[in-house]
Amino acid sequence: MKKILYSLLFCISLISCNEGGSKDKLVSKVRSDINVELQKRASSNGISLSINSFDLMHKNGKEYSGVLKTIEGGQEYTYQVDVTADEHSYMWKIVE
């Protein structure tokens, strides 16, 4: 019985490690995409922009919710970001 319990705990830890790694990759990819898009907008408006932080929380299924903090033209802004992702693709949207 102990072997089964240890095997189950080991499998759960492997799954949670893999999910954490994939979430980190998703955060990195989405942050990069958002940065490119926001830099284009900032440049066209003649202001500077930097991303202070971005993180995602898994809501359910393929849905994630995130908080993006930026400095734009010297002012701090906070945005909510919705992300839908599967193994191969993702979509993000800044909620206004």
pLDDT tens for each residue of 40-92: 999 999 999 999 999 999 999 999 999 999 999 999 999 999 999 998 899 99
| pLDDT exceeds 70 at position 3 | no
CA nearest neighbour of 95 among 86, 87, 85, 84: 84
Residue 25 has, within 13 A of its CA and on its CB side, a CA count of 12
Tell me the residue type at 17.
C
| pLDDT exceeds 90 at position 5 | no
pLDDT level of residue 13 (50, 70, 90 thresholds)? very low
Delineate the domains of the chain, giving CATH numbers in brackets: 20-95 (3.10.450)
pTM above 0.95, yes or no: no
